Amino acid sequence: MKHLKITTSELSKICGVSQGTVDRALNNRSDISAETKKRIINVARQYGYREYVDSNSENKIIGQVGIIVFNLNNEYFSKLITETELILHKLGLSAVIMITHYDKQYEIECIRNMYNMGVQGIVLCSVNRDIEFDNYLRLFDIPIVAVGNDVGSVPYVGIDDFSAMKDMTEKIIADGYTDLVYFSPALNYADAYAQKLRYEGFLSAALGRKYDTVTCIDEIAECYNDKTVIICSTDYYAFQVYVKKKKKKIVGFDHLDSIEKYKIRIDSVGYSISEIARFAVDIIVGKRDSGVIIKHSIIEYTEK
């Protein structure tokens, strides 16, 4: 499958139908339901079908691993790239980095572009997650490792987002905070799977208690009582709240280096991004054949 565009054979695997059914859909033949035909045509457009494909291996690059992330706004992604590249460098490999900007279609193109270049594996932060994308990933004969979001069809390396946020919320409640404000703009995004798991963990711990869910920084109230805590689904969001409400109890998620560096008074869920990078690379180079759930911890801010 060393080509940029997709074939009818691959398209049939993605759609879960026979190649003959795909052929009937694409060539407007009979003996196919209108619903099936429409779905196949839509998938064909999404995944870049073209009738003729020429195989060209001249662009193959030896010793490179692809890294695909959403963006670099969140320090998590820049640290993940840095840690992964460092590990690859020690193994005599290098990294090819692509940024999807949360664009589902562009992510699909990035994966195929990297494969076409000849990378020997891909570390993927994905915004796609459905049965057709699942089947798409199964087409590739190189290891693909999911980080950030568990997409189901490939090994996942990361934390248990549900349990981590549940543990953080239970700790906050045990500390005596009775009014909970959950801040997560990502809840507005249809495909923020890890963020939704964190929210479900929060709801599990907050069951029967007073809480508000906020998805816009402007909705953060000007005044809260002393028993209020603002729980943020990432440190990136916690930093935004901190600028506005420095004197309130704020907790985040990811325990980014900036917390210590700039003495930002927030508690956070911590875990090792370097471990995530190491296990992901282990899968790429064949040292592991399964995903890993990384341990998390609750880290309270302390003055130094």
Q: What is the pLDDT along the chain (304 residues), one digit of tens a residue?
A: 444 567 889 999 999 999 999 999 998 888 999 999 999 999 988 887 755 434 343 443 448 999 999 999 999 999 999 999 999 999 989 999 999 999 999 999 999 999 999 899 999 999 999 999 999 999 999 999 999 999 988 999 999 999 999 999 999 999 999 999 999 999 998 888 999 999 999 999 999 999 999 999 999 998 899 999 999 999 999 999 999 888 899 999 999 999 999 999 999 999 999 999 999 999 999 999 999 999 999 999 987 6
Nearest C-alpha neighbor of 236 from the set 218, 224, 250, 254? 254
CA–CA distances in Å: residue 153 to residues 35, 120, 197: 26, 18, 18
Third-level CATH fold of 64-157+273-292: Rossmann fold (3.40.50)
Please report the pLDDT score of residue 190 as a whole number: 82
Contacts of 128 (CB under 8 A, 6+ apart): 104, 107, 108, 151, 191
Please report the pLDDT score of residue 298 as a whole number: 98
Question: Is 161-270 CATH 3.40.50.2300?
Answer: yes
| Helix/strand/coil for 171 | helix
Residue listed under structure tokens 């990384």? 294
Domains 64-157+273-292 and 161-270 share a fold: yes
Q: What does the domain layout of the chain look like in residue ranges?
A: 8-47, 64-157+273-292, 161-270
